[in-house]
Structures are given as C-alpha cells and as structure tokens.
Amino acid sequence: MNATLPVGQIAAQSLSAIRVLEDHGIDYCCGGNRALEEVCAEKGLDAGAILSELDRARHEAGVGARDWNNAPAGELIQHILTTHHEYLRRELPRLAQRMAAVTKAHGEKHPDVVHPLSNTLAALTAELELHLRKEEMILFPFVERAEAAQKAGLPPMTPPFGTVANPIRMMEHEHDDAGQALAAIRRITSDFTLPADACNTYRALYSGLQELE
C-alpha cells in the first residue's frame, strides 16, 4: 500500500481501513478518487503515519477478513442488502421520528440549526429510499442474472438499459449526492455539537446521524 492510492480503493480493502480513515476525518466516499497523499497534504496529516496506521490495523484485523474486491457479485450484493439496506430501512424512520420531536421541542429556540437540518434529512431520506429501490429492482437483479449466465457458459446478456454502465453511473451519482447531504448535516450541526439545552431525543438524533454518516 502506498500514498498514491485513491482513498476509496484503500477503504474498499477492509473495515479496519475504513475505521482508520474515519478516525482522521478522511472522506473515502465522495472524495474517494483522490490520492491519500493529496488528502493528507490538504488536511495537514502525515501520509506516512497514516499508512503505518493502516498497515497496523490490517495486521491486527487478521487475514480472515473478507476481500470484497474479489468476492462474487452475488455475494457482494447480499452483503450490501443485509448490512446496509436493512440498516437504512430500520434507522431512517427512527431518525425522522427523532427529528420531528426535536423540531417540535427546539425549533423555535434553535431555528438556524433545526429547520435546515430537518429539510436536509428529509431530502436525504427520500433520495436514499428511491436509491435502494433502484438498486434492488434494476441494477442488482441484472448483475445477478449476468453472473449466473457467465457461470453457466451462456452468451452475455443484453441489458434493457443499453449498458450496465448506465445504472451504475446513476447509482454513483446518487451516492455522491448522499455524501454531500451528509457533509451538509455535519456543517449545519457544527460537527454534531449539541446545544446546552439539548434533551435526550436531541442527543439521540445527533448520535443516530453520526452513525448514519
């Protein structure tokens, strides 16, 4: 591993790498195409030290961790569905409930934070829900059928959307949009800094938003 690798590629190697990047506030989603050395220079971080930390974390995690870069597409899809889609479908409604309660209790006292936060979260939720349906109904089924055809030695499938690159490009664009919304949430909340009069629901909201990010 070297500092010229894109941070997104580094993050894709293991969950331990993701944790190291997150600990240093390195964006591996929207900014995933940027080289580690470039990001470190911008943030005033020592790229060599980050690489050492990444290597140490990878060693501590052991060699048994799943390498999703080389996993069959169907297995990767099931991992995405059970790990990420199920999480979003469970947590997004809970965040909406907390947001509604916080708006009712604190909207007048903290309008500059609560109202833009509510609007941003609502827009993000709507986009993510549509995004999940597109992946589950269009992209993922085609990828699974194409992989099955390949294993069976059948001719390549002709996708109904021209080329599989088209929905993938759209999914990547929507991923970027979601990342920008999450960045906006962090800005609005001043890095999830709670007001002095925050109630337990307010605290739970910020905790849930951080976990979502």
What pLDDT, in 10s, does the model give residues 66-118?
777 788 999 999 999 999 999 999 999 999 999 999 999 999 999 999 999 99
Local confidence band at 61 (pLDDT 50, 70, 90 cut-offs): low
Q: How many contiguous H segments (helices) and E segments (strands) does the chain have?
A: 10, 0
Higher pLDDT among residues 17 and 60, named by residue: 17
Per-residue pLDDT at 166: 86
List CB contacts of 61: < 8 A, sequence separation 6 or more.
14, 15, 16
Look up the pTM and report it: 0.75
Per-residue pLDDT at 197: 95
The structure tokens listed for 211 are: 């976990």
Least confident segment among 69-73, 159-163, 189-193: 159-163
Pairwise CA distance, residues 158 & 132, whole Å: 23
Per-residue pLDDT at 176: 87
DSSP 177-198: HHHHHHHHHHHHTTTTPPPTT-
Question: Once rounded to an integer, what is the mean pLDDT over residues 152-175?
Answer: 84
Q: What angle do CA 20, 8, 5 make, to 5 degrees?
A: 90
What pLDDT, in 10s, does the model give residues 112-128?
999 999 999 999 999 99
Pairwise CA distance, residues 140 & 163, whole Å: 14
127 touches 174 (CB < 8 A) = yes
